[in-house]
Amino acid sequence: MQETPFQLFNNEQPMKLATKIIHAGAEPDPSTGAIMTPIYQTSTYVQAAPGQHKGYEYARSQNPTRKALEDALAIIENGKYGLAFSSGVAATDAVIKLLSPGDEVIAANDMYGGTYRLFTKVFEKFGIKFIFVDTTKTSNIEAVITSNTKLIWIETPTNPLMNISDISAIATVAKKAGALLCVDNTFASPYLQNPLDQGADIVMHSATKYLGGHSDVIQGALVINDGSLKDQLHFIQKSCGAVPGPMDCFLVLRGIKTLHVRMQRHCENGAVIAHYLRSHPKVQKVYWPGFEDNAGFAIAKKQMRDFGGMISFTLKDESIEAANKVLSSTKLFSLAESLGGVESLINHPASMTHASIPREERIKNGLADGLMRLSVGIEDANDLIEDLKQAIG
Ligand SMILES: *Cc1c(COP(=O)(O)O)cnc(C)c1O
């Protein structure tokens, strides 16, 4: 794992993101000079004598392809240590396993449905208490924080309503209470936002999304600065065993190399489509962090470099039938869960990604039955607009 800041030119000038993204974690393979880290498809490593090895004993604990990826993850998130997991929820699972019965977690009331399901259906029965609040107002967190609060879990922008929470303000509240702050940075990606720089303790990613970028792998990641926290999470990673295979690590390493180029186009296309939808006479509301009249705009501007390619919207006709017509008429936007790949997707949170959240909870938190979510890909923006035009009618 990367222990020192990634510097090429003496410390004077920090390396720019685009350069870090290409070179992070990439060392020519020591045995052949291969420029790409090989896929070390092995379960074990031969020792010269008992206990005499090259830092690799058994592949659940260490794998060179995974190590290259973990170093890269640390560098692009401006952290010291990266840990890769077999999925985003496995990374989340590892964070919650830092806790003990009686501990409390304050979590965002608008977040990925699978995270909500893991918290309420798996961990609550082990005596961990989850309190869900609207984290866009930091005072809501302060109102419920107690000496039992050990973790604050936020997503920003949130899935699917693109709400923005103030990472540095929440980090201050967490520190004062002695709680950890974990930010699910999946929607922003390290290209748009680096939560550790704003005071977060742990950054979590579903690498399945923008980091992988090509809809061909399931993977998760954590990035941390604190050495003892890294040791605890690494212990959980190897003890519980939710590690990614070397092929999947290779795919994410390769995906990361074009993160900045893809994200730039995701952002450009996202802006064009958000404005198009907002001007459409049949569209009721567009959720995208880049609108100046959005409640979270000032904070988004402060903590993000751009606004991304995730957009949700509702129609003036709020019926499920009207939404279904759009969902089944798009031709370039494929109807599918997930996001962050090069191709555009359309999703219906109420019946797909967020179906695991009870309807009353969804409605209470502003997730309408007819809400549709777009993961805007990197195709030509005019073609994407033509597709939405014919689908919305
Ligand atoms: C997909 C997703 C997850 C879960 O990650 P998996 O890789 O599917 O396990 C967590 N958070 C967010 C915001 C996601 O979009």
φ/ψ bin of 182: left (φ > 0), alpha (ψ from -120 to 50), beta (otherwise): beta
**Are the C-beta atoms of 85 and 244 separated by less than 8 Å?**
yes
Rg (CA), the chain: 21
- The reply to whether 6 falls in a domain is no
pLDDT tens for each residue of the chain, 393 residues long: 344 445 656 556 778 889 999 988 788 998 899 999 999 999 999 999 999 999 999 999 999 999 999 999 999 999 999 999 999 999 999 999 999 999 999 999 888 889 999 999 999 999 999 999 999 999 999 999 999 999 999 999 998 899 999 999 999 999 999 999 999 999 999 999 999 999 999 999 999 999 999 999 999 999 999 999 999 999 999 999 999 999 999 999 999 999 999 999 999 999 999 999 999 999 999 999 999 999 999 999 999 999 999 999 999 999 989 999 999 999 999 999 999 999 999 999 988 888 878 899 888 888 899 999 999 999 999 999 999 999 999
Mutate to test the pocket of ligand 1, among 85, 89, 162 (most ligand atoms within 8 A of CB): 89
Does the active-site annotation cover 209? yes
From the CA of 339, how far away is ligand 1's center (Å)? 9
For atom 12 of ligand 1, the residue with the nearest CA is: 112
- The reply to whether 325 falls in a domain is yes
Task: Indicate if ligand 1 lies below 6 Å from the C-beta of 185.
Answer: no
- Cβ neighbours, 10 Å, residue 391: 18
Dig out the tokens for 61 from the structure. 């604990």
Catalytic one among 71, 110, 166, 184?
184
Residues 332 and 239 in one domain: no
Give the strand pairing for 104-108 and 129-133: parallel
Residues 301 and 219 in one domain: no
pTM metric for this prediction: 0.94
Provide the CATH number for the domain around residue 360: 3.90.1150.10
pLDDT tens for 33-64 read: 999 999 999 999 999 999 999 999 999 999 99
Residues 174 and 317 in one domain: no
From the CA of 213, how far away is ligand 1's center (Å)? 13
Residues 55 and 189 in one domain: yes
- The reply to whether 134 falls in a domain is yes
Residues 158 and 26 in one domain: yes
- The reply to whether 344 falls in a domain is yes
Residues 206 and 331 in one domain: no
Residues 146 and 77 in one domain: yes
**Are the C-beta atoms of 244 and 66 separated by less than 8 Å?**
yes
- The reply to whether 4 falls in a domain is no
Q: What are phi and psi of 265, to 5 degrees?
A: -75, -40
Residues 87 and 152 in one domain: yes
Count structural domains, the chain. Answer: 2
- Cβ neighbours, 10 Å, residue 7: 11
**Are the C-beta atoms of 353 and 369 separated by less than 8 Å?**
no
Sequence letter at residue 71? D
Residues 206 and 337 in one domain: no
| Domain finish residue from 198, 227, 256 | 256
- The reply to whether 2 falls in a domain is no
From the CA of 336, how far away is ligand 1's center (Å)? 14
| Domain finish residue from 224, 256, 288 | 256
Residues 103 and 167 in one domain: yes
Task: Indicate if ligand 1 lies below 6 Å from the C-beta of 158.
Answer: no
Domain extent for 195: 17-256
Residues 238 and 217 in one domain: yes
| Domain finish residue from 228, 256, 284 | 256
- The reply to whether 5 falls in a domain is no
Catalytic one among 45, 56, 60, 278?
60
- Rounded to 5, what percent of the chain is helix, strand, coil? 40, 15, 45
Does the active-site annotation cover 184? yes
Residues 244 and 341 in one domain: no
